[in-house]
Structure 1
Amino acid sequence: MSYVQAFEEIDKNKDGKISWDEFAQWIRAFSPSMTSEEIDEMFTELDVDGDRHIDIVEFAKCYAVSEKEEDDEAVLKEAFELFDTNGDGKISASEIHVVLKRLGNNKSMEECARMVRGVDADEDGYVSFEEFKTMMSSNNKALL
């Protein structure tokens, strides 16, 4: 997903900027237990000009920095954990379905099961962290 696509998905009212509420909704889709204070810290860091909105330029800078992150493994682990909602170390089709639904992406359970099958190298019905890393480093990123 490009930074433009990500920005457009978060910007629910399509006004060209991400409000605190839109940002909070997006973050809580992945981390429902995150506090408002934690979300505010993240939002404030991204809102470089302090206008209480994240515009496409501010978002792009953040996106570029995260893509060049030195510790790719840690970034991937964090992304994996967002989808591994029950913390069992593997991602099921239903976990993908729940997270995507929270993000407003209404993929069917069958589509989510197809995503899992597409990267499930050991055919156990789940996406392990190693399979997730392979998926995220390949052209399969579009699956999620």
Structure 2
Amino acid sequence: MEKFYGTKFAEVIRVFSPQITSEEIDKMFIVLDVDGDGQIDDVEFASCLMVNGGGEKDTEEEVVMKEGFDLYDMDGDGKISASEIHVVLKRLGEKHTMEDCVVMVQTVDKDGDGFVNFEEFKIMMNSNKESH
């Protein structure tokens, strides 16, 4: 997968959320660019679904995390399924199988319901930031 720089990242985000502001996209980019190299590679993009642990973030960062969560929660039911992950990654040019996406969900699914809810998403994002 190609690496996302500011402009390309903004284009991809606007596919999923046309009403998002440039400032919100910038904040989301900062959250996802874990290594701070100014680009989001496939590992950084996918890792937000594969890590666990963490703590609390301030309100502004939580808003950015919610926007990231909403990109995956395509049906708006408040939880991310393996099939939603598969669709998003496919749109981004990733070649993960459905089985890969099931494993991603299982890795972060603390309550065992087969989905990633927003609390689980926040925990993995917080852990992802702390581990880099």
- Quickly name the TM-score band, shorter chain normalised: 0.5 to 0.7
1:135 partnered with 2:124: yes
Cα displacement string for residues 54-100 of structure 1 (whole angstroms, at most 9, x for unaligned residues)? xxxxx93xxxxxxxx86111111111111100000000000011111
Aligned to 1:15: none
Structure with the greater relative contact order (CA < 8 A, sep ≥ 6): 1 or 2? Answer: 2
- In terms of fraction of residues, the more helix-rich structure is 1
Gaps of 5+ in 2: 27-36, 39-57
| Letter in structure 1 aligned against 2:108 | V
Distance 2:62 2:9 in 1: 25
Determine which structure has more spread, i.e. the larger CA radius of gyration.
1
Q: Using structure 2 for the length normalisation, give the TM-score.
A: 0.61
Which of 42, 56, 59 is matched with 2:22 structurally? 42
Which of 65, 89, 98 is matched with 2:78 structurally? 89
Q: Is the 8 A contact 1:97 1:108 kept in 2?
A: yes
Task: Indicate the RMSD between aligned Cα atoms, in angstroms.
Answer: 3.4
How far has the Cα of 1:27 moved from its partner?
2.4
User: Which consecutive segments of 4 or more residues in structure 1 shift more than 4 A?
Assistant: 22-25
Distance 2:10 2:60 in 1: 25
- Specify whether residues 98 and 28 from structure 1 end up closer, same or farther in structure 2 by C-alpha distance, changes over 3 A only: farther
Q: Is the 8 A contact 1:29 1:99 kept in 2?
A: no
Q: Using structure 1 for the length normalisation, give the TM-score.
A: 0.56
Q: How many residues align?
A: 101
Say which SS state the counterpart of residue 81 (structure 1) adopts.
helix
Percent same amino acid at aligned positions? 53
